[in-house]
Amino acid sequence: MEEDPSKVTLSSAQTTEEINCQVFNALPSPGSIGVKLNGYDCEGLLCPGLLFNFISEEEAQKRDFDVHPQDIWMPGFCDDDINITGIALASLSMGGICETTSFLITQRPGPLVLGKPFMKDFSAVIDYKEPEPPTLTVLDCEGIKHTFQISQVKQERAHPPGINKQNTSSFYLYQFPFV
Q: Are 67 and 60 in contact (CB under 8 A)?
A: yes
What is the total count of domains within the chain? 1
CATH of the domain at 76: 2.40.70.10
In sequence order, the 6+-apart residues with CB closer than 8 A to the CB of 107 are: 56, 57, 83, 85
Within-domain flag for 3? no
User: What pLDDT does 153 receive?
Assistant: 57
User: What pLDDT does 28 receive?
Assistant: 65
Does residue 58 sit in helix, strand or coil? helix
Using one digit for the tens of pLDDT, what is the confidence trace for 116-149? 999 999 999 999 888 888 999 998 889 899 999 9
User: What pLDDT does 27 receive?
Assistant: 59
Residue 106's φ and ψ, nearest 5 degrees, are -130, 155
**What pTM, to 2 d.p., does this model score?**
0.69
Using one digit for the tens of pLDDT, what is the confidence trace for 25-82? 455 678 999 999 999 999 999 999 889 999 999 999 999 999 999 988 887 666 678 8
User: What pLDDT does 26 receive?
Assistant: 52
User: What pLDDT does 130 receive?
Assistant: 83
Within-domain flag for 7? no
Within-domain flag for 2? no
Within-domain flag for 148? yes
Selected residue with higher pLDDT from 29 and 112: 112
How confident is residue 160, by pLDDT bands cut at 50, 70 and 90? very low
Q: Average pLDDT for residues 135-164, to the nearest whole number?
A: 71
Within-domain flag for 151? yes
Which helix (DSSP H) or strand (DSSP E) does residue 91 occupy? Answer: strand 80-94
Q: Which of 138, 49, 66, 44 is nearest to 98 (CA)?
A: 138
User: What pLDDT does 78 receive?
Assistant: 60
Q: Are 178 and 74 in contact (CB under 8 A)?
A: yes
**Which structural domain, as residue segments, surrounds residue 44?**
16-175
